[in-house]
Structure 1
């Protein structure tokens, strides 16, 4: 039977979701939403948050340790011990312990014997694993990249399957998704193989440095040499800023996905202080003690800490691979034979590897350094996401976004726990916003509120933009309404974000919708829908709409995505459900 509808009496707001490049805004002016007065809280509540930390435990030889219980762990948050309340163990990709009880294995079937009762379920599997292979072509040379990616290809062929999915992205001053998430390891390996034909740009950087070293040798004064080195360091710093932005963007897109999330960053190092080895070179060339202080000006440690914070907030574990492997002393290479001084290899390597280690260790991963073949190291990563412990603890939260330091240790001697060292306590609002953004890239169809979406025919708004009408239906039976005398009150919050075919996104738009009905009519409303009409201003072309609806009383959230093509030639465009 078709449900009857009860339309919202107020006029729906017009939300401007203009898809334009951030640096060059265009399109119609934004029409402001209908003002909504101050909304007093529906209920007074205290959030009880369960913080979950995934922990890898190894012995002194690096072997994974299984068979531990929650009593074996100690958790300290911001200096205060926390009792472990939630616990499960994963071994070989399957749950083996939940709380204090082992997970029973599935019984062995008897051949040819008809089942006397429904078959028992197989052992519960662990949470899904998402692996992003980030190939940093800006900081790679072709030979080293291709050598390491051959190892990665062999690994993904056997490891990416079932509930393990991988995607491939590249960075060469432009962030490109080469393959979206898939559990077809052979497909991922093929995409990685194709990257051998893609330019790797570190060759140009090294060539530029070689010329610079000669120019420093030809300089008549230390001041002149410093000036030349500064220009080179500023160029590296600019490239590094964009690289960190690309990493942050990739990490943020993963924030709303549930499961274990791994970012495998492949590069030949990321500089803590761009050009650090040059200041030491100039010092040796001119026998000066003042030049090394120049390096402090270019130190970008704070930028890397920002990446750590973003990764821990999104639940992403970073594994940094230094593709340069085992290298010879820069002072005896062809580059240095024609120069007066020598590039200090220790300064250079420490500068390039220290931040890879920081990103990895602070997020619960490990850096893979000084290895020409990383096959065994990749297998260790696989052990990390197939054999681990999940430890949870409860605490009363004020519901605001706050960072926390956390330390997990094992009480048994000789065992080492590895986990992320900080996390961001997130409010329900932040979690929904992140999930709405992530759903633009990674489809999500959780719909406990039974939300229905209808997209109407786009109509021109002006010469550049179209108005796209959208009707959102939520059954009253799924909405929590609290009695207040003769009335019953509730509130839904709607979240909208749009992605165009060029990869540009709108700002996230949020609209609260207070609901107030006669308490006496609650029973009759049970078979009706609450209907919310909204209009989006969009440009022509293919668009993807991400929608979330949150019941503010219970924090129950539904996520929906739709694809639509808006033709600039006529009104024949139609909205269609995203796949």
Structure 2
């Protein structure tokens, strides 16, 4: 009898669903097929002995691809360079290029490698995400950016490019138009996004209100009537500044987390990935300039006059998001995602209306606020090899340079010598003997584990595109039970055993399969991706029979009363093969 060795594990709750694994009564369900009906001859002893001596090693060769953009002093693209012109360093050490080709200016192939045209089709297809950050944009600036995208980005997409539209709303990122090559579908999604209510005006209003309070109150002299009350008001403004900074930091961290999850989902797509982020910038130190405005008016005066007001020079830097922004850039580099960032708000333009009525808010604090806001944009773009611009009179200039990046570039590939350790590695690209050229590429890379990669593949199936399914994976919802305001939904995962690599042992053949399961509801809430390790053992005398059958594994999801996408990805650990599928399900219907 074929046995599926597995253990029951408890699921984790969070996001949209809680996953509970349920083993069917026989542990493995074999779905009947014509190949299973005919009796099979026993396996000869000689064959069994031969299998006992079989050794199998699964090697997963990772090729790191680095896109490189080269310009001259005049800003024009430099084409015609060859592999020998480039030097690529990882952590300061030169690496051997195993793959090279140029796009938009001549091509040179490495001997023995695939032709560049074939590689370009398989590994260089562009996936572009147009992301609108409604957390930071004002209606006017958002509409101006959308118009620029419609005029300067959509008309220049190639027929084989794929793009999507997504909107950041608070702590979630919602894909409003999935991957498509249809510019009109993208245009319609952008127009729909323009009807929403961005929160940028609320953020500006909150800052102005705090500045107005700082301006409207004064610090009394010792002995003045009501001095204690006035000092208490000054102290309360300071406490409100702390609350403002903390709230902005929470909002920004949630937004960064949503974008990071989205970048992880992009990792499941093949080829080049780019994010065009349209927003007002997430301040890396929200509130720092406001704290300094308060300090300039009250801090020194309070100490001189002997008033005890609790304040600290560190409060303005307490909620520092620099590390989180850099982590997002590192995540993008690990998943071959390039950021292009366009910022346009009053603060980023350096002409905040707050300066028009506040004596405490001068050009120095205006510059500080602008620097903190644009730091996130510059870090994301500069660290991933992209471009950043702030409040351009014509955003089309940035979009034109971005389009040139897509059309004219070099791709350098190499196989890392170091074992995968999950550490960030610094990358540097040089053109030998050409100090007159400017070279731009991503600043680093990080090895991703198979679990990270497969989690990204599952997220991609949930949010974007399941991709190829070479293992012929199939998923269906077979039943459900209502549990108060939620549903326990049975999900059956099926796949033909003939698609797996089975390693011969003494008395059985063994395979190793890992399933990755997740769910996402209509509001974009996504469950944690759960990994389920499923070893497979097939007795030698049943091997030929079993290879004609289909295996099934049942798991149970706890879902809200809402429309869901359920995604399952599977990795054959011995065969280094994977697949993913996604199905739609609305509990209760």
TM-score grouping bracket, smaller chain normalisation: 0.7 to 0.9
* Alpha-carbon separation, structure 2, partners of 1:251 and 1:237: 21
Say which SS state the counterpart of residue 62 (structure 1) adopts.
coil
**Equivalent of 2:414, from 393, 405, 412?**
393
The offset of 1:172, in angstroms, is: 3.5
Deviation at 1:273, TM superposition (A): 0.9
Please give the per-residue CA displacement for 1:17-70, whole angstroms capped at 9, x wherever unaligned: 788646xx8x89776899x9xxxxx85666543221111111122221111122
Per-residue deviation, residues 137-163 of structure 1 (Å, max 9, x unmatched): 221222222222211111233123422
Query: For 1:531, what is the secondary structure of its paired residue?
Result: strand
2:93 aligned with 1:96: no
| Aligned pair partner of 2:548 in 519, 524, 528 | 528
| Correspondent of 2:470 among 448, 464, 469 | 448
**In the alignment, which residue of structure 2 is the partner of 1:248?**
260
Residues 96 and 516 of structure 1: is their aligned pair in 2 closer, same or farther, counting only changes over 3 Å?
same
With over 3 angstroms needed to count, the CA separation of the structure-2 counterparts of 1:230 and 1:502, relative to structure 1, is closer
Equivalent pair of 1:159/1:185 in contact (CA under 8 Å)? no
SS in 2 for 1:480: coil
Q: Of the candidates 127, 147, 151, which is equivalent to residue 148 of structure 2?
A: 151
> Is 2:503 aligned against 1:482?
yes
Change (3 A) 1:259 1:519: same
Partner of residue 440 from structure 2, selected from 403, 407, 418: 418
- Aligned residues of 2:6 and 2:535 also touching (Cα < 8 A): no
TM-score by length of 2: 0.80
Give me the whole-angstrom Cα distance separating, in 2, the residues matched to 1:531 and 1:28. 20
In 1, the alpha carbon distance for the partners of 2:334 and 2:398 equals 26
- Residue 287 of structure 1 and its aligned partner are, at CA, apart by 7.7
1:215 lines up with 2:213 in the alignment: yes
Paired residue for 1:430? 452
1:279–1:473: structure 2 CA closer, same or farther, 3 Å change rule? Answer: closer
1:563 is displaced (CA, Å) by 3.1
CA shift, 1:521, in A, is 5.9
Are the counterparts in 1 of residues 293 and 361 from structure 2 also a CA contact under 8 Å? yes
| CA RMSD in angstroms, aligned pairs only | 3.8
Distance 1:247 1:195 in 2: 17
Match of residue 160 from structure 1 = 157
Please name the residue that 1:129 is paired with.
126
Change (3 A) 1:479 1:194: closer
C-alpha displacement of 1:502: 4.4
Aligned to 1:271: 283
Aligned residues of 1:270 and 1:355 also touching (Cα < 8 A):
yes
3-state SS of 1:197 partner: coil
Greater relative CO (CA pairs within 8 A, separation 6+): 2
Tell me, in whole angstroms, the C-alpha distance in 1 between the residues paired with 2:196 and 2:404: 31
Aligned-pair CA distance for 1:363: 1.0
Q: CA deviation at 1:178?
A: 2.5
Is residue 83 of structure 2 the alignment partner of residue 70 of structure 1?
Answer: yes
Higher mean displacement: 66-75 or 393-402: 393-402
Residue aligned with 1:96, SS:
coil
Question: Is residue 4–residue 535 contact of structure 2 (8 Å, CA) maintained in 1?
Answer: no
Query: Following the alignment from structure 2 to structure 1, what is the Cα–Cα distance between the partners of residues 490 and 348?
Result: 58
- Alignment check: 8 A CA contact 1:492 1:551 kept: yes
Tell me the residue number matched to 1:572.
Answer: none
SS in 1 for 2:326: helix
User: How far off is 1:462 after superposition?
Assistant: 5.5
Residue 179 of structure 1, CA deviation: 2.0
The answer on whether the counterparts of 1:274 and 1:298 sit within 8 Å (CA) in structure 2 is yes
Query: How many angstroms does 1:368 deviate by?
Result: 1.1
Distance of 1:203 and 1:138 partners within structure 2: 9
List aligned pairs for 1:230-379, cutoff 5 A. 230-286=242-298, 288=300, 293-324=314-345, 330=351, 333=353, 335-337=355-357, 339=359, 342=362, 344=364, 345-379=366-400
Q: What secondary structure is seen at the aligned counterpart in 1 of 2:463?
A: coil
Write the distance in 1 (CA, Å) between the matches of 2:314 and 2:6.
Answer: 60
Q: CA offset at residue 122 of structure 1? A: 13
Q: Deviations over 1:58-83 (max 9, x none)?
A: 11222211111221111111232211
- The whole-number CA distance in structure 2 between the counterparts of 1:207 and 1:566 is 42
Shift of 1:367: 0.8
Checking the alignment, whether the CA contact within 8 Å between 1:55 and 1:417 is kept in structure 2 is yes
Unaligned runs of 5+ in 2: 28-54, 220-230, 302-310
Which one is further off, 267-276 or 460-469? 460-469
Between the aligned partners of 2:554 and 2:58, the Cα distance in structure 1 is: 30
Please give the per-residue CA displacement for 1:154-210, whole angstroms capped at 9, x wherever unaligned: 123312342222222222425333222222212322332344432232222222222
Gaps of 5+ in 1: 1-6, 37-41, 107-120, 569-579
Match of residue 60 from structure 1: 73
